[in-house]
Amino acid sequence: GAAMAHGHGPGRCRCCGEEAAERGAAWGLYLRIDRQRLQCLNERREGSGATVFRPWEERGDRSQFVESDDDEELLFNIPFTGSVKLKGVIVMGEDDGTHPAEMRLFRNIPHMSFDDTAKEAEQTFSLSQDPLGELEYPTKIARFSNVYHLSMHFPKNFGAETTKIFYIGLKGEWTEAHRHEVTICNYEASANPADHKLEQITPQTHFIS
C-alpha cells in the first residue's frame, strides 16, 4: 500500500519506514547509558531526568519530561557502559520560555555538581526552541571521541522560571569498555575451544593412569 502511494516499485527505493528506522538506530546511545548511575541535578521529580533518554521514535511522548526545581538550571551526569564517540545531540522542549536556551557539554568529569560548571565546557551550544525534536547539534568529534562520562549543563532557558526538557537524543558510536574486570568476565563467558579441550582431556588422562 504505502509503496504504491509513493509511486516507486519494489526494490528500486527504500521504504520510508526503513529510513526512519535507520535514523532511529543512529540515536541509540541511550541504550549505552549506565542507568543505575545516571544523575539529574535540580530535577523537580526524582528520576524524571532519566526518562528523557529514550528511543528516537518515542521522542514525541509528552508524558515523559524533566522539569527543573529551584531555578532554570539542569545538570545531567551520564555515565556510559563503555567508550562513546559522540557525534550529535538533539534537545527537545516546549515552544515557550521553558525550553533550554543553552547547552554546555563536559566530558569525563564524573559526579559533576553545579559548582563544577564554573569550569570551561568542552563545547557550548546556543539552542533554538525545538518542540518536535528535529534540530541536531553536531559536536566537535575530536573532543568527544573517547567519552565514558558526559555531563550536560543547561544554565538558562527562554525566560520561564523553570526549564522543561522532553527528550535528549545522543548520536554516536559505542565501544565496549576495556577495563580489566570487564575483560576477565568476557573471557570466561565466551567459550574458548582451546580451554575446553584442555579441561576435557585432563580428567581422562588422570583416569587412564
Give Cβ neighbours of residue 125 (< 8 Å, ≥ 6 apart): 89, 102, 103, 104, 105, 137
pLDDT tens-place values along the chain, 209 residues long: 544 444 444 454 445 667 777 777 789 999 999 999 999 999 999 999 999 999 999 999 999 999 999 999 999 999 999 999 999 999 999 999 999 999 999 999 999 999 999 999 999 999 999 999 999 999 999 999 999 999 999 999 999 999 999 999 999 999 987 655 544 444 455 555 555 444 554 444 445 54
**Distance from CA of residue 30 to its chain's centroid?**
3
Give Cβ neighbours of residue 112 (< 8 Å, ≥ 6 apart): 75, 77, 106, 151, 153
| Contact present, 51 and 110 (Cβ < 8 Å) | no
Could you tell me the domains of the chain? 21-175 (2.60.120.470)
**What SS3 state is found at 19?**
helix
Residue 114 grid cell:
553545579
